[in-house]
Each structure stands twice: as C-alpha cells, then as structure tokens.
A and B are shown apart, each in its own frame.
Chain A
Amino acid sequence: MPFLKLFGKNKPNTPQSFVVVGVDSNDVVCLRVETSDGNVKIVGAEKQGIPNGSVILGNIENPSAVLMALGECLDRLDKIDENLEDAPKDMVFVLSGGNSLGLMTAAKVRRDGTKPLSVKELDLVYKKTTEASLMKMQSELLVQKGNSEIDMELVTSSVLYTRLDDKNVLNPVGMECSTLEMAIFTSFAPKEHLKMLNKLAKSVGFKLIGQGYDVFSLVNTMEKTDLENINYVLIHMGSDFTNVGIIFGGGLITTKVLPVGRDHFAKEISQELGIAYREADEMLSKYSSDSLSESENLMVRNALQDVLKIWLSGVELLFAEFSGIKTFASRIYLAGEGFDVPDIYEVLVTEPWTKSIPFREPPEFSKLPLSEISVISDLSGKATSLEWTMPATLSISFLDR
C-alpha cells in the first residue's frame, strides 16, 4: 500500500550506521553517519578529488575515476577511529539538481460526498497523481532539456498535502468529502545514473539502500529545526550547477537548475592566471578561507568578476522561469560549496537583482551550515563548510522513511 507507506506506516528498518555519498564534478564526498533517537551523528567526513570532466551535471562520465575516489574516501573513513562499531555496509547516494528533477503535482477528484474515503480510493488517487507527475516530469524535461524521452526513474514520492472540500487534512482515511485534492512531490533521476550508482556501491562492497534528492532531503530536515521552515526559497550552489527550490507550506513545490556553479569560477581563475584547473580550484578554496596573500587575493578577486555577473544574471533568469509562482517567500537559504566563496555570497546579497523578481518582501539571505541544523551533530569536525549541508541532510531523510 504505497499511500499507507507515505503516511509513515510499514516503515522499513533504517540501519544504525550507513554511509552517505555525494558525487559532484569536483569531488566524491562520504559521510559516515550513526542514527539514534531521531538524531544523526556524523562520525566521519571525507572527500576525494576527481579529474575534471569525470562528472558533468551529476552524470558520471568516468566511472573508474569516481570509483577510485570513492574507494579512497571509504578507506579513510575506515581509519577514523578504531573504537567505532563495525564499519557500515549500507550506502545512500545523494542525487543533485544537476541531473535530477523535482516537482509537485496536484490533482483534484470529485466524488460522492457521502462515502467515507477508503485507503483503496486514496491509493488510486495517489497512483493517478503519480502517473500525472510522470507526464509533468516529461514536460519539464522537454522545457529544460529539449528532450522528453530521457529514461527517468521515480526516486522520491511524498504527499505534500491532502485537502478535503478545501480543508487540509493530515490523515483523510475514513473521512467524507465531495472534492479531494492531493499534492505530491516527486523527484526523478536518469535510470542509467541510478544503475551506475548501484554498480559503484557493489564495487566497493556496499549495499545501496537508497538514493535521495538533496533539495527534498534538506526541506525535510528543515522541518526539524527552529528555522523559518514554512515558506522559503533554497538556493543550492553546487560544483557545476545552481539549483533553486521553492518551498511553500513546508513542502517543496518545484526546482529549477542553472548549469553554472563553483567550478566555472575556478575555471575562470585557471584561464585568467594561466594555471592548471586543480591549482585554480585550490586557490579558490584558499581565497574562500582567506588564506591567500594580498596580491593573490586581488588576482583571484579580479578573475571572478566577469563570471559573477554572468552567474547573477543567470540566477535572475532562473527565478523568471518560475512563471507559475506569483510571489516568492522572502526568506532565502543558501547551501552548497559555491556560497563558501565570499564574493558569490556578497554579490547575491547586495546586488539589486531581486528588484525584478516578485518577492513578497525584500529578501533576507541566510547561509545554512550544518551547525544550524540541531538534529545533526558533526562529531568529525570536518563537515563545517556549506558543501556538507546537503549530503548530511540526506541521512535525516533516511531516518524518516
């Protein structure tokens, strides 16, 4: 019964300890997490660089390089502390906006108002809504990528709300109504990509217990925090994309992705300063942590300027793409490695780009480091920068299944 499952029944067992793996165009990141009493402890956090071009917009183009980096990370995780319990053998992969898609589908059904809603009827509505979400996903693929025939697989399906005769109801089983409205959030990822993740997990001797769409996981995790978590916008700036999620009523409504991320800034530094990409990437990291000399700082800052303008223009364009949304919530949360670069954060916060976007009020920006999320404790001390937030929240999603 999928509908019952969505409402928290038939909950499968979540292992006490597992590894969350994120793969982006620059690195493979691994988190060893342990769960207890609804909380998550990160006991190990490791990352390993991969050659440029090995992963493009979330798609693994060079499986050997990713496998090698994954192996390195896991080896290091194994060595973190001999006192820890046996190494986990379950693995969860992060799906990012680079190649995955998340959207909301709402459906309305007219019915005989005298009959109580049965699980079977709700199941049917849920099934039909899911089918509609597949069609919607294909439409979105056509709009974004010009091709609706990409073989995608459903990864996440979550009921956002059920509304009986225009009233929100948490559990509608047994209730009577003339109109039933159901909204679900679904996320999809390319089937080939999911197969590849399965292969990777097997190759390192792990069992793949699931994949999760990162924006969805973060939204779920936000519910457990004291932060503003009802209406907000989430901007996740990854290595080669910027993904924007729109959240209303605590539920993720839609996402759109701009294929420009932190890598593009590193590439520009590489070009401008005539240095290798890896060196430029390292320089950008040092720039972000304010550990460059004054002259190097100046060189990097100058190299970033043109890309900053283009990226910001892209963000503005991206918001304009949400043309079905009348007004955006004014709270904007920022996550992802891109926002570790101070200039990117500053240009987003200070430039007047928001004036052309219908925000309800002048937007307020907040970075979302893991330290803001109390249900996750970082015992490793390594997951401090913004790039760890998204993969870490995936563990909460798995705790909630």
Chain B
Amino acid sequence: MTRVEIDLNEDIISILNKLQNINDTGLDLYIPVGAAIFDNILNLKLLRKEMEKTGHVVHFITDDEVGNTLISMLDTDTSTSFMPEDFGNISMSSAGGLLSKIPAILGGLLPKAKVPAINSKALLLIPLVLALCAFGLYKRAGTLRADIKIVVASQSTARSISMKVKKDAESSEELSVLGGKAVSAVLVEKAESTTTGEKLVGEKSEGKVTIFNKTSDEVDLDEGTELNFDDGDEDLVFVLTEDITIPAIYEKDPTDPSSVLVPGEVEADIEASDIGAKFNIDGGETMGVEGYKRSELVAEVVEDLTGGKSETRKIVSEKDKTDLSTSTLSKVTAGAEEALKKNLSVGQKLIEGSSLVSIQKETYSKAVNEEAEKLELVMEVTVSGLTYSEDDLNDLLDKLVAKSMPEEYVISDEGRVVEVDVLGNTDSSILSSVEADLQVTSKTYVVPNISEDDLKDRLKGKSSQEAERIIGSLKDIRSYTVEIRGGIPLFKKVPKDIDKISIEITKSDD
C-alpha cells in the first residue's frame, strides 16, 4: 500500500496525474483538512472511477469532517426524487428527502465511550488523589506550549519596472523614483611615457668671402645682407656679419684707353643663416648678393667655410603631455568603479557606468620642449558615482508590486530575485553620477497575508482539532502541523497565553 499525500488546492486532474503514475495498486490517499477536492463529491467519485480503470484501489483518509461525510456517502444512493412532496392538507411541517437520513449517516461516525465501574472503598482516597492530581496538573499546565508550522502556497510574480535613481531624492512609488546617494574616492595615479618630440641643434658654418663690385658705383652692404648659394638642390643663404663698402669698378691703368676694367672688391665675414653641415661650402664657390645681379655684385668664398654642423635631440612635445594625460585618465577611469566599490557600505549598490572622474592635479616631470627621453605624470583625481540601497529598492519594488496585488496577499521575504539593468545614456535614458534610468526585473513570491498575532488570538484556548480547522480554513495553505506540548494529557489545548504559541510561516517551494 502506497501512501500519497495531496495538497490543499490540488484539483482532480492534478491528483489523477499524480496517482496514475504509481505502480502500486493499493493507494492510501491522505487528504488535508479543507482540501479543494472536497468541494464536490463528484471529485471523489471520478477519482475512484478513473483509478479503478487502471486497476488501482484508492482509500481516502482525512481528518476533514465534511470530507469524511462525503467519503461515507460514496456508496450511498443519493438520487433525487422528482415526485411531489405530499403536503396532505397544507399543514405540512417538514419535508422528507435525504436530509432525514443525515443522523443515520453521521451517527455511524461518532465514537462510543465506555465508563468502568468504580470500587466504593476507593472513594475514601478520592480527595487525596484529587489534591495530588490537582497539584500535578497545575504544575504540568504551566508547561503547555503550541508550536504551529504553516506552509503557505506561494505564487511567483515577475515585474519589469522602469525607475529612475536620483541623487539625494526621496523614493516615490508614484514617480517610480528611487532615492540614491553619491559615493566618492580620491585616486593618485603615476604614469610614464617615451617622449616623441624632436629638436635639431648645431653650429652655423662661417668664413670669409670676397665680394666683387662690377658697377661703376661704390656699393654699401649692411650686416645681415643675404648671400645666396645654389648647391643644385636648394638655395643656401648666408649673411654678412659686418657692414662693408665695395668700391666701384676702375680702370687698371687710367692712362691707357685700352686698359682693362678691374671690379672693386672687399673681403667680408659671413655666416650661414642656419645650422648644418650643408653650409660648409668649398672655397672658390661663388654666391649672389641680395638685390644685385651676378653681373653687378658677386661673392667668392675665400677659403672653405667650416664649422657648420647639426644633430637631432628628443624633447617633450605638447602631444606627449596630452597623450600621457589621456591614457592615465583612461586607466584611472577603468579602475574607478572598483575603487568606489571599496567605499560602499553593506547593501549599497553602485550603478555601473554612473562614475564620473575629475582631474584635480597633474604634475609632469618635464616641460614642453624640454629635452627628455621620458615624461612622467602624477595625476590626482576625484571619482564619484551614484548608488542605491538594496533595501530601499526592495521597499520601492514592494510598494510598486503591492499596487497591483490583492489586499489578502503580501510579498514573501523568501526567494526574491531582483535584476537591475542600467539603461545607459541614450536619447531616452540618462546615466550620470546624479541620475540614472534603470530597468528592474523583480521576481518575488506572493503569499497569503496571515497575521501571526491575529491567528494566535483565534487559536488560543482552542483544541488541537479546532486549531487545525481554523488553520485549514485559511486561504492558500499547503500544509501545516500543530504540535501541543506539555500541559495536561487529554486536556491539551492551544495555550491561552499567546506568548506560549509559536507560529512559523514559510512558503512552499513549488
């Protein structure tokens, strides 16, 4: 014989599905007090009929009074008569029908008690025995306790709610606003980078040139006058480093009409306009003079110009500073939320993506254009983010869910699952360190709202059976146990002192 227990709210189909998978042909079906299957006798009849088809024999077992009445009537002829009631001469006082059979049906269920005869000699001892018993009972009565465990049916309810977290705001279920708080941290980050700037350093080439004047007029040239040398690739510019006057062309022998003309000439110091070895021009090379044709003035390098040289050195560029600052800030930002999380208190949750990093101070090892192979930065930043309290969120969710929840139910503290999605910064949502839009998916369990205090009041002083009936009649009860400990045997009732009644309400796991 297999024992099977059913739940309070299980319907006929569910019970049949459960039973028909059992191999044993004999089944003891335990039905709790107040079970839904007792709503109609046809449930029991149909259950028995269907189980018989599969070769099972079901025995119904219950403490439910109504249930036992139904079970006792399963094989009783309950047919309805459609024949007219005979009122005789209209002075009818009661109708017949099945109601008249009730005492017979219920009578068989009532227990019969036997009372033994008492020996007359023993009567003398009665006062003493009674006194002892009374004392014993008094002591024992004080130990009376009731432990009640109730498992209630739970219904999961999932809601997806859009809400806004606002820094330092009050939570409001009407506005779907959750009050948030700021969290901040100060971070110092050191970083180093290789410089990328370059600087050319070197010496200018210098030397002497002879400048020839082929004009008939004396020519004055100022310091800084440019002389140009074409090396085939580019014009190299030199400058005079002194003021000079070049005499005009003259006849070598003024007395000789066929005397040759001799250009006036003067030797002058020059230097290259820029650094570099390319300005080291060989002696004998010629240069033009700024503002004059070569047919008028021309300079000739006296000896090889020398001293011109150049080399490239590493320096700090503006870009080096910017790049180092940006990369350091990125690094700080990446670790900012972790740093903030270290500053959170218990139950405080940081909204990811809400952190804001502000640079307080940057100290570089070198200035821009300063020669250096490496650049170092010490960055000091302040990080702030938006947080909410898990408790505040749960409270708000409870209020929002409660809006659409019947009064008779409450949200269970057990089994709650809350998922928070940050909606980000888009056209339709905001994410910042002061405000953030969230989509919160909450799966909670709704259980009947049973007030322990009210229930204790209803149960106090009640017999175990009455207590079971009261508990069994509560809405959505899955199972329960009533254990009355201590007290006087045979007179055990739920204590009248409600402090001695313990009620534990849990939700069912299914």
Interface membership of chain B positions 493-505, coded 1 if the CB is closer than 8 angstroms to chain A and 0 otherwise? 0000000000000
A335 lies within 8 A of chain B by Cβ: no
B13 lies within 8 A of chain A by Cβ: yes
> Which of the segments A37-45, A322-330, A374-382 contacts the partner chain?
A322-330
Query: Would you list which residues of chain B between 45 and 101 have a CB under 8 Å from chain A?
Result: 45-46, 49-50, 53, 66-70, 73, 77-90, 92, 94-95, 97-99
Smallest CB gap from B45: residue in A: A317
Smallest CB gap from A50: residue in B: B406
Minimal beta-carbon separation of B49 from chain A (angstroms): 6
| B95 engages A136 (CB within 8 Å) | yes
CB neighbours of B445 from chain A (8 A): none
| A64 engages B407 (CB within 8 Å) | yes
Smallest CB gap from A267: residue in B: B13
Q: Is the interface of B mostly helix, strand, loop or mixed?
A: mixed
Question: Which of A53, A131, A136, A268 is within 8 Å of B97, CB to CB?
Answer: A136
Question: Which of B13, B82, B407 is within 8 Å of A325, CB to CB?
Answer: B82
| A317 engages B80 (CB within 8 Å) | no
A140 lies within 8 A of chain B by Cβ: yes
A142 lies within 8 A of chain B by Cβ: yes
| B406 engages A145 (CB within 8 Å) | no
Assuming the contacts A313-B50, A317-B46, asked whether A108 and B40 have C-beta atoms less than 8 A apart, the reply is no
Query: Would you list which residues of chain A between 14 and 73 have a CB under 8 Å from chain B?
Result: 51-54, 56-57, 61-65, 68
B2 lies within 8 A of chain A by Cβ: no
B interface residues, how many (CB within 8 angstroms): 55
Query: Would you list which residues of chain B between 148 and 178 have a CB under 8 Å from chain A?
Result: 155
Query: Would you list which residues of chain A between 278 and 313 have a CB under 8 Å from chain B?
Result: 306-307, 310, 313
Bound-complex Cα distance A108 to B88 (A): 7
Bound-complex Cα distance A110 to B88 (A): 6
| B90 engages A65 (CB within 8 Å) | no
A253 lies within 8 A of chain B by Cβ: yes
Minimal beta-carbon separation of A299 from chain B (angstroms): 17
B376 lies within 8 A of chain A by Cβ: no
CB neighbours of B475 from chain A (8 A): 61
| A142 engages B85 (CB within 8 Å) | no
> Which of the segments A207-215, A254-262, A390-398 contacts the partner chain?
A254-262
A124 lies within 8 A of chain B by Cβ: yes
| B45 engages A260 (CB within 8 Å) | no
B454 lies within 8 A of chain A by Cβ: no
CB neighbours of A264 from chain B (8 A): 11-13
B43 lies within 8 A of chain A by Cβ: yes
| A259 engages B81 (CB within 8 Å) | no
| B66 engages A132 (CB within 8 Å) | no
Smallest CB gap from A268: residue in B: B13
A interface residues, how many (CB within 8 angstroms): 65
Minimal beta-carbon separation of B15 from chain A (angstroms): 10
| A310 engages B16 (CB within 8 Å) | yes
A109 lies within 8 A of chain B by Cβ: yes
| A108 engages B86 (CB within 8 Å) | yes
Smallest CB gap from A65: residue in B: B406
Assuming the contacts A108-B85, A139-B99, A146-B67, asked whether A314 and B46 have C-beta atoms less than 8 A apart, the reply is yes
CB neighbours of A181 from chain B (8 A): 84
B41 lies within 8 A of chain A by Cβ: yes
CB neighbours of B41 from chain A (8 A): 143-146
> Which of the segments A98-106, A224-232, A338-346 contacts the partner chain?
A98-106
| B90 engages A111 (CB within 8 Å) | yes
Question: Which of A63, A64, A306 is within 8 Å of B17, CB to CB?
Answer: A306
| B42 engages A321 (CB within 8 Å) | yes
Question: Which of B82, B97, B155 is within 8 Å of A253, CB to CB?
Answer: B82
Minimal beta-carbon separation of A22 from chain B (angstroms): 20
B238 lies within 8 A of chain A by Cβ: no
| A142 engages B80 (CB within 8 Å) | no
* Chain B residues with a Cβ under 8 A of chain A: 9, 11-14, 16-17, 36, 38-43, 45-46, 49-50, 53, 66-70, 73, 77-90, 92, 94-95, 97-99, 102, 155, 404-409, 475-476
A57-B39, A310-B12 given; 8 more Cβ-contact pairs under 8 Å = A106-B83, A142-B73, A144-B41, A146-B69, A254-B82, A259-B12, A267-B14, A324-B79
Nearest first, the 7 A-B pairs at minimum CB distance are A323-B79, A146-B70, A106-B84, A64-B406, A139-B98, A146-B69, A135-B95
